[in-house]
Amino acid sequence: MSNSLIIDKTTHFLGTALNVNLKRQGVINTNIANIDTSGYQAKDVNFKKALDLAIEAEAPGKMLQTHPNHFKLTDPLKMSGGTNVTGAVDIDREMARLAENNIQYRTSVELLLRKMSMIRNTIIDGGR
Amino acid sequence: MNLLKLMELSGTGLAAQRIKINAITENLANAETTRTAEGGPYRRKMVVFEEDPFKSDLRSSIEGQQDVPSGVKVSQTIRGKDDFRLVLNPGHPDADPNTGFVAMPNVNTMTEIADMIIARRAYDANVTAINNTKTLIIKALEIGK
């Protein structure tokens, strides 16, 4: 985790939240694509649990890269954990989850944007 | 890349439902067909869907994780095994010379229409999923603006 003032904990946290939302989007899309597949069991991501696991995986003290400044490449769609089976595909439920996930994702992006605008304000007003 | 992959995933859903709708259309068109290349009346076509995990890249095939998202594919097209509809029509050239009954295809128009509505709904659901993923991509592009 970087100690920089600009790319700080909040930014990291929001990035991880976006990854978890992306993973959930993948699971929901899979459910919708397989709506007519016989024997298919719908899955869902427990957002809180998956986020906890993802943050834990990024926690300091874990050897994930050879140098702390190297970028760690995680594929959000292949993050494991937090997924549970919810039974047969229910289209209404999937649509509701889709909307919920969309709003969560947008919220995280919006927070990131506001964080950036805070930094921008500091830079501009500080120079006055 | 990943969000685009999710759109590709929903695209497999669209393709599969389209194949199903094509089969249903074919059934409806041949609802009265008594002569086919295989001989006998037309048998209704049905498609069977199968989960199709996205394991095209090397990393996931090595790791073999359970959580990979999967699309859908048509694993096979089968012919309905139910009995033909028997219609009394002695004047028909394909009628049984003794009884006068004509074997008509095992296509039930009502079932086909109902199946078509279901397929259409599923198609619409995939379109909604694609649009949803699209808004996520557009929103993500705002980061760093």
B79 forms beta bridges with B45
- The more confidently predicted of residues A54 and B27 is B27
Q: What is the DSSP letter of B50?
A: E
The more confident residue out of A128 and A30 is A30
| Mean pLDDT within A105-126 | 90
Give all strands (DSSP E) within B80-130, no chain letters. Answer: 85-88, 101-104
Task: Tell me the two tokens of residue A78.
Answer: 């292949």
**With 80 as the cut, is the pLDDT of residue A66 above it?**
no
pLDDT at A81: 67
C-beta of residue A11 within 8 angstroms of C-beta of residue A19:
no
Q: Which chain A residues contact residue B50 at CB under 8 A?
A: 37
pLDDT band with cut points at 50, 70 and 90 for residue A33: very high
Q: What is the pLDDT of residue A60?
A: 56
- pLDDT at site B44: 94
Q: What is the pLDDT of residue A111?
A: 93
Mean of the pLDDT values across residues A42-49? 88
Contact B76, B48 (CB under 8 A): yes
Separation CA B73–CA B15 (nearest Å):
8
Cα separation, B82 vs B79, whole angstroms: 9
CA distance B114 to chain A (A): 14
pLDDT tens string, chain B, 145 residues long: the values are 478 888 999 999 999 999 999 999 999 999 999 999 988 899 999 999 998 887 655 555 555 555 678 889 999 999 999 899 999 999 999 999 999 999 999 999 999 999 999 999 999 999 999 999 999 999 999 887 7
The two tokens of residue A1 are: 């985790």
pLDDT attached to residue A98: 94
pLDDT band at A57 (very low <50, low <70, confident <90, very high): confident
What pLDDT does A95 receive? 93
Cα–Cα separations (whole angstroms), residue A29 to A94, B126, B130: 9, 8, 8
Asked if A7 reaches chain B (Cβ–Cβ under 8 Å), the answer is no
Contact B132 A37 (CB under 8 A): no
Out of A18, A37, A78, the one facing B49 most closely (by C-beta) is A37
CA B21 to chain centre: 6
Q: Return residues 47-106 of A near B (CB < 8 Å).
A: 75-81, 83, 91, 94-95, 98-99, 102, 105-106
H-helix or E-strand spanning residue A111: helix A91-126
What band does A47 get if pLDDT is binned at 50, 70 and 90?
confident
Model confidence at A114: pLDDT above 80 = yes
pLDDT tens figures, A15-31 = 889 989 998 999 999 99
Contact A27, A59 (CB under 8 A): no
Q: What span, in angstroms and rounded, lies between the C-alpha atoms of A8 and A5?
A: 6
Mean pLDDT confidence for A43-64:
75
Query: HSE of A13 in the Cβ direction (CA atoms, 13 Å)?
Result: 7
Closest approach of B143 to chain A, Cα-based (Å)? 6
Q: pTM higher than 0.90, yes or no?
A: no
Within chain B, how many helices (H) and strands (E) appear? 3, 4
One-letter amino acid for residue A102 of the chain: N
Q: Report whether B71 contacts B54 (CB < 8 A).
A: yes
In this predicted structure, the answer to whether residue A87 has a pLDDT above a threshold of 80 is yes
Q: Give chain B positions within 8 Å (CB) of A30.
A: 9, 69-71
Tokens for B108? 């039930």
Whether A76 shows a pLDDT value over 70: the answer reads no
Q: What is the pLDDT of residue A64?
A: 54
